[in-house]
Amino acid sequence: MSEDIRSLVEELEGIGDDLAPDFMELVGQALDVEIARWRANAPKASGDLARSIEKRMIDSYTWGIYFNDYGYYQNFGVVGTQNKTNQVSVANFVPSEYRPSAGDKYGFKSRMIGGDLPFGVRVAIARDGLNAKKWFPVTDEQLDQILQRVADRAIQSIEI
């Protein structure tokens, strides 16, 4: 074996030892950074919403981000029975099972919401609605930025 080939073999020895065993695992690790960002931006009344944010494998090639259902209402807001506060169009940014039954905004239909809050509070929320908190990104541009950040982190993790 010539000296040049021996040198090349020694240089290449161990290449890839630092790679994640699976590229999807590497992307998942990069996605953890985005999830931390979402948790930091989530409304913090009790902290349950922030704690519920997690990544899940949808299939062999796709990660998804999941959180408590009411996170959609917090993000987009809900139109009250008497007041239209600050709500955002849901459009096509949420899965079909969480889209409004009519129109493109969430809205209360009854004079009182359910739950264990005091009576007056439940009436006031239904009447006045909920302002949008905009805690997770929804525009195509924002989603593209997330994908780019995840891709950049995944590429940075590969040390050759």
Q: What are the tokens at 61?
A: 């090639």
Q: Round the average pLDDT of the chain to a whole number and report it.
A: 80
- List residues bridging with 106 in a β-sheet: 78
3-class secondary structure, 59: strand
What's the whole-number mean pLDDT along residues 62-79?
88
Spatial CA neighbour of 51 closest among 33, 63, 38: 38
> Locate tokens 């959609």: which residue?
72
pLDDT at 18 over 60: no
Spatial CA neighbour of 48 closest among 34, 67, 62, 20: 67
pTM of the model: 0.70
Q: Which residue has the higher pLDDT, 111 or 14?
A: 111
With cut-offs at 50, 70 and 90, classify the pLDDT of residue 52: very high
Amino acid at the residue 2: S
What's the whole-number mean pLDDT along residues 47-71?
87
Q: What are the tokens at 65?
A: 């981000």
**Kind and range of the H or E run holding 152:** helix 140-157
Q: What is the pLDDT of residue 21?
A: 54
With cut-offs at 50, 70 and 90, classify the pLDDT of residue 143: confident
pLDDT tens column, 71-120: 988 999 999 999 877 888 887 777 788 888 888 888 888 888 888 889 99
pLDDT at 160 over 80: no
Q: Where are the domains of the chain?
A: 21-68+137-160, 78-132
What share of the chain in percent tops pLDDT 90?
Answer: 18
